Amino acid sequence: MEKAGIGRPSTYAQTLSTLQTREYVRPVGRHLGVSAVGLLVTTYLARQVPEVLERDFTATMEAGLDDVAAGETTRVAYLTRFWTEGLAPTIRKASRDAPSLPLPHLAGTRLRATASGPHLVRCGQSVPLPPEVLPADLTEADADAIVQGVWTPTKPRARKGSSAAGDKDGPKPSRKRKATTAPRKRSAKSGKGAE
C-alpha cells in the first residue's frame, strides 16, 4: 500500500484487520494467505467493477477526502459527486452473477461463490470448501478428499522457503547470555577486570 501511495500509515493496521475480520485473508506465518472468499470477491470486483481496483480510484478518493478536510469542498458535495459521477454508473453496469473461477494448478477444478459460502467444483460435484483451506495450498489429493467428504485438516504447513514458524531464516537463537561463574581476570597494570 505504501509503495502504491494508497492509504496512510495510520490506516494500514486497520485495513489489515478488516481484511482478516471479513475472512479475505488469513495469517500464514509472517505472511497473509488469500482465502477462497477473498479470491472470489477480488475476482468479482475485477470483472464487474474494475475501476474500483485501480490505484487511481483510491488515490483520487483520498485526494477528495483531503479537500473535504481542508474545507475546499463539503462532504455532501464530495460524496454526491463521488457517487453520481463514479460509483453509481459502475455499479449499475455490474452483473449480479456469482463469481466462479478456475484453479489453474488443479485441472478441472473451480471455486464458485454460493449463498452458503465458497464451493469447490470438481468432477461434476459442488461441495463446500472448508474455510481453513487456502486455494493456493490446495493439492489434488486434498481436493479429491474434500469432494469425497473424507478430508480432515492437517497440521499447518510452512510456506515454501520458510520454517514452521513462518520465518524464512528459521528460529532465531536466544540472545540471552549464559551466566558464568568464573571470576573476571584482573589486569596487572590497571587492577581492573579484563574487558
DSSP string, 15-68: HHHHHHHTTSEEEETTEEEEPHHHHHHHHHHHHH-HHHHSHHHHHHHHHHHHHH
Check residue 114 and give its pLDDT.
Answer: 94
**What string of pLDDT tens digits covers the 195 residues of the chain?**
777 767 777 778 888 899 999 999 999 999 999 999 999 999 999 998 888 888 788 778 888 888 999 999 999 999 999 889 888 888 888 888 889 999 999 999 999 999 999 999 999 999 999 999 999 999 999 999 999 999 998 765 554 544 444 444 444 443 333 444 444 444 444 444 444
In degrees, rounded to 5, the angle at the alpha carbon of residue 39 between the alpha carbons of residues 18 and 46 is: 95
CA distance 93 to 174: 58
**For the whole model, what pTM was predicted?**
0.68
Check residue 174 and give its pLDDT.
Answer: 39
CA distance 171 to 57: 41
